[in-house]
Amino acid sequence: MQQGAYLIIKKPVLGSFDVATSEMSKSGIGLRNILPRSEPAQRPMSTIDKTKWIDSAGGPLVLLQASSLKVWHGVFGADYDDACAIAGYTGVLRRERHDVLVLGADPMPTAHFKDAEELFLVRLYTGPGDEAVIESIATMRGALNKAIEEVDLEIVEGNQTIIDSGADGQNADERFELSIPPGKYRVLTFDYDPSSEISLIVHQFIRS
């Protein structure tokens, strides 16, 4: 990817979850095509916070702690290029002495979900409609198999914000605020395909 340039894909429509994949995905090329598929879960998640989904203009999303918002400048500095340099589904940058979680690979609509005290970020790769996607998330807890990636993340502030990595932290038009308790976490990434029509990337936050 050239510096300062966005990856152009078809923009997903969040209201209907009519998500278009990139041309790379359509041609069968890319990381997701070599990942194992999972079977549907048997035990539903106890509570689901499905208040909001957020998407980017084509680049990665980033989870910023409060102090990092003021120093994140997106395409107006080196931050966007640093985020795009992350090779996997997740990576960690340091800003204002705090960790920044980068959600890499293909841009995908992303939401925050909870199961009791367990925390998840769920990224929608493909899905036919709201009801089917939400139902698959509600039953995913017991179906997550071996993690395909893992990164360490330290949260030192109780409030975080997810924004498009290309945006300025203090002036992002679209943002998703959430609260992950301070602590050290392992962020595990799972490939979860409960059916031929639904494909998700799931990030689970586990205290280390």
Look-up: residue for tokens 């990576």?
Answer: 91
In degrees, to the nearest 5, what angle opens at C-alpha 105 toward C-alphas 8 and 12? 50
Nearest to 50 by CA among 164, 131, 170: 131
The mean per-residue pLDDT over the stretch 179-206 comes to 94
What is the model's pLDDT at position 62? 97
Give 3-state DSSP helix, strand, coil % of the chain, rounded to 5: 15, 35, 50
> Model's pTM, two decimal places?
0.75
Has residue 36 got a pLDDT over 60?
Answer: no
Mean pLDDT of 5-32: 34
pLDDT value for 137: 80
Q: Which pLDDT tens digit goes with each residue over 98-157?
A: 999 999 998 999 988 887 778 899 999 988 876 778 888 877 877 888 999 999 999 999
Structure tokens given for 159 = 């409030």
Give me the residue spans of the domains in the chain.
23-207
Q: For residue 137, how far is the Cα from the chain centroid?
A: 14
